[in-house]
Amino acid sequence: MAASLRRRLCLLRLILLLGWVLVSTAEAMEKTPGVLTVGDALTLPNQSVRIEAQLGGKAPGGSFPWGGVSLHLSIDGKPVATAKTDDSGHVSFEYLPKMRGNYVVTVSVDDAASVVAEKTDATLCVWERRRPIILVEMAALVQPVAATPTETGAEASANPVPDAAEELARLTQYYYNVVYVSGSGQPPAEAVAIGNARRWLASHKFPPGFVAVPSADGVNGTVESFKQGGWATMKTGIVRTRAVAEILLQHRFEVVVVPELPKGEMPRKAKAAKEWKDVRKKL
């Protein structure tokens, strides 16, 4: 009789487990796939910063905003805050960093939400104004291919220029902070492309820095926004293209072009480096 009771209890547990699995599977299948994007943030030590995130649901021909969803913010793996998206799918978190440095920001969708999206990382740059900032064109880091790592899916096929990561790490170890920019002058098709650029930089061991979102004004818009924010120490640029070099020269930057452009294409006041190992000698 005791054996029969044990069998019945085991059968009941099995039925309950199967029911839980079926309910969980059904709930997962009902969730709407979404896209979560997070922008890099920049501030000073002991100065509050706003970290922005955007949640959109996937739809034919584009995406639609998703409001009322709880998003969680973590910094360097530690939970910091939770907030709900507004009707436009946007949410902002306020955070007060104490120490300078570059921190990993992670935003994720609450497990109970009716939308599912991959958690997304960004960088919180807590810099001091006196430290110089170097602006680096992404094209100067990538071996020429059909697409750049700011384009969706291209980071898997793009290879870094030899010695670029090592040399840039040396420049940023004790002296420069770094801002990465795209020289296309056009916003990417989706903001998720910036996440691809971050992953590509991290996977090839480039030093952490601020990845600027391309605007309609391109690199010029990025430089102007930093000036307006009081970051007057951005005066050096490492680029690959003549167009970006000329923009930075107009802002009175010290510009190094790598690799050296063909004769007649080098801007008059720019310095040329044949390879990344020569860049430090030019600064």
Per the listing, tokens 């003549």 go with 242
Q: How far apart are CA 283 and CA 276, in angstroms?
A: 12
Highest mean pLDDT among 5-19, 29-43, 266-280: 266-280
Structural contact between residues 35 and 56, judged by C-beta atoms closer than 8 angstroms: yes
For residue 16, the model assigns a pLDDT of 54
For residue 134, the model assigns a pLDDT of 97
Q: How far apart are CA 138 and CA 199, in angstroms?
A: 13
Q: How far apart are CA 116 and CA 41, in angstroms?
A: 24
Structural contact between residues 121 and 105, judged by C-beta atoms closer than 8 angstroms: yes
Percent of the chain at pLDDT above 70?
79
Model confidence, pTM = 0.82
**Residue 93, phi then psi, degrees to nearest 5:** -115, 140
Determine which of 40-54, 195-209, 246-260 has the lowest per-residue pLDDT on average: 195-209
Q: How far apart are CA 248 and CA 265, in angstroms?
A: 16
pLDDT category of residue 161 using cuts at 50, 70 and 90:
very high
Task: Please give the single-letter amino acid code of residue 228.
Answer: Q
Q: How far apart are CA 187 and CA 170, in angstroms?
A: 30
Which domains can be identified in the chain, with CATH numbers? 32-126 (2.60.40.10), 133-282 (3.40.50.1000)
Q: How far apart are CA 117 and CA 139, in angstroms?
A: 30
Q: Is 193 helix (H, G, I), strand (E, B) or coil?
A: helix
